[in-house]
Amino acid sequence: MNLFNLIADIEKADPEVSERFNFYSRRNLLKFGSNLLAAGIPTVVAGSLNQAFAQTTSAPSQAAIDTANFALTLEYLEDEFYRTGLATAGLVPASDLAVINQISKHETAHVNLLKTTLGAAAIAKPTFKFPAGTFSTYATFLATARALEDTGVQAYKGQVGTLVNDKLILQTALQIHSVEARHASEVRRMMGMKGWVSDPTQTTFTQAGVSLKTLPNVTGITDDNFRGAFDEPLTKQQVMAIAASFL
Amino acid sequence: MLLLHLIYYVMNKQQNETGLTMLPGQLEPVRVGRRLFLRYAGAFAAGGAILASCKEGEENPTTVMAPVDLGTGDVGILNYAFALEQLEAAFYTQVVAKPYTGMTDAEKAILTDIRDHEIIHREFFKAAIPAASRIGDLVPNFSSINFSDRASVLGTAKAFEDLGVAAYNGAGTLITDVNYLALAGKIVSVEARHAAAIRDLLNPKSADFAGDDVVAPTTGLDAATPPSAVLPTAQKYVRTPITATNLPK
């Protein structure tokens, strides 16, 4: 069932419905829910639609819902990863606890936010399996964190095209995307790496048809910095191939 | 894009026909909206001679500078990004050229990488935006920054990076061309990586790299700020007046 299309249909039939969605704040959810219940729509849907309609009058497309669920899957994975790490005695050194706690807090918040945004359309948390040794040493834990964060940045980036016409979910995705980049930078630097990515297999230096290395005023800039200046995306298929080792 | 080029060609042709595309005292043509241009044309007739004798970077608050208007549509947003990247590149160029007291090798390496990224971003936008609709080179105003003081420099860097992230996050939904949106996405996460690194230099291994002051703790969302709120902050560091009344909202 496509929930958002259903509501869009209701909206067509009753042009005032989006205004009413606007009017009811989350605090009025119960009252709102009971109204919907009378219309035969489960209360649980109300939260998400209330939020969606508070910001836009057009319902998210199925593609946008799928993308948000894809993001939710990654956030479930990250959230479970950091919570497990923090619950493993002696794993995270005291010196790094403030950082790991902050990241973990954000991943939990992202899960809750996406679940609220999607409402009844949200997928349930998959059962994850972490590769053997993930939580055995701090070095392995950090290396996994880096992979998850850098992949997360690439995953959100790869989805903006599918969201260009779904402003509500695009806005949320953008504001999560840069937080994942902050996480990635910090984790990389805790591992003694640079905060930015330089993939040595990247040997072409062109963005949007512009050849970067022949631009004016770039003499002396290293290939590493040409690579690092732009973060590259991954497709959903590429991300799922990486995530497969956790599923 | 073809349509856009056509529109700019026509606009350009109209401006050329006025014979006033090149403003007096400008090193290169500055595009201003036709309406704005007419409003300022009188001032320039009087101010041109002063402007022509004013060296770049010289403090002269009485000088009337040619304003730049960012324009409309996606190109307006690209100009907006170009303006912010110009500001960042100029800042880090000065930071690396004149290191603050006690700058460590590790700090210099980080700041040099960031400088190079910002220069690449600036030059990229300059090449990518059609010349007819591109804003000119902005004149920075860094008089409020003490470049010999670590706290002043890194505090400014933090403000610029956070502003850049919030600006890109706040402009994403204003972009209609999916290729430009993807491009903004490739840059904003680099700015966020910079922001985290600068914040970590100021307060190492604390929660500040993605602190509660910039990432809302209950939603885990980074800031998103519309151009109307970003530009007044950016303008404090740019002498060239920037107008953005025609940007998408």
Q: Where are the domains of chain A?
A: 1-59, 61-196+233-246, 203-230
User: Does B86 map to a domain?
Assistant: yes
A113 touches chain B (CB under 8 A): yes
Q: Which one is predicted more confidently, A53 or A34?
A: A53
Confidence class for position B66, pLDDT limits 50, 70, 90: confident
The answer to whether B207 contacts A228, with C-beta atoms less than 8 Å apart, is no
User: Does B235 map to a domain?
Assistant: yes
User: Mind listing the pLDDT tens digit for each residue in B176-195?
Assistant: 999 999 999 999 999 999 99
Percent residues over pLDDT 90 in chain A = 74
The answer to whether A99 contacts B196, with C-beta atoms less than 8 Å apart, is no
Reply yes or no on whether the pLDDT at A179 is more than 90.
Answer: yes
Q: Closest residue of A to B177, CA-based?
A: A164
pLDDT at A126: 96
A236 touches chain B (CB under 8 A): no
pLDDT at A59: 84
Reply yes or no on whether the pLDDT at B16 is more than 90.
Answer: no
A61-196+233-246 has CATH 1.20.1260.10 classification:
yes
User: Does B151 map to a domain?
Assistant: yes
Q: Closest residue of B to A185, CA-based?
A: B193
Determine the Cα–Cα distance for residues A201 and A159; give it in Å rounded to an integer: 23
Reply yes or no on whether the pLDDT at B17 is more than 90.
Answer: no
Range name among A3-17, A50-64, B101-115, B222-236 with the lowest pLDDT average = A3-17
- What does B117-152 look like in DSSP terms, one character per residue? HHHHHHHHHHHHS-GGG------B--TT--TT-HHH
User: Mind listing the pLDDT tens digit for each residue in A159-177?
Assistant: 999 999 999 999 999 999 9
pLDDT at A10: 33
User: Does B159 map to a domain?
Assistant: yes
CATH number at residue B213: 1.20.1260.10
Q: Report in angstroms the alpha-carbon separations of B36 from A217, B30, B46, B192, B243.
A: 32, 12, 16, 35, 9
A227 touches chain B (CB under 8 A): no
Domain that holds residue B202: 70-243
Which of B117, B179, B216 is nearest residue A229 as measured by Cβ atoms?
B117
User: Mind listing the pLDDT tens digit for each residue in A76-112?
Assistant: 999 999 999 999 999 999 999 999 999 999 999 999 9
Mean pLDDT within B64-71: 91
Chain B partners within 8 Å of A176 (Cβ): 220-222
Which of A179, A190, A233 is nearest residue B182 as measured by Cβ atoms?
A233
pLDDT at A111: 98
Which of A50-54, A111-115, B15-19, B34-38 holds the top average pLDDT?
A111-115
Three-state SS at B246:
coil
Mean pLDDT within B71-98: 98
Q: Which one is predicted more confidently, A55 or A6?
A: A55
Q: Closest residue of A to B220, CA-based?
A: A106
Q: Per residue in B204-239, is it b (16+ CB within 10 Å) or e — as a string?
A: eeebbbbbeebbbeebbbbbbbbbeebbeebeebbb
Three-state SS at A64:
helix
Chain B partners within 8 Å of A222 (Cβ): 116
Nearest Cα of chain A lies from the Cα of B91 at a distance, in angstroms, of 15
The answer to whether B192 contacts A182, with C-beta atoms less than 8 Å apart, is yes
Q: How many independent structural domains does chain B possess?
A: 1
Nearest Cα residue to A36 out of A48, B197, B100, A102: A48
User: Does B24 map to a domain?
Assistant: no
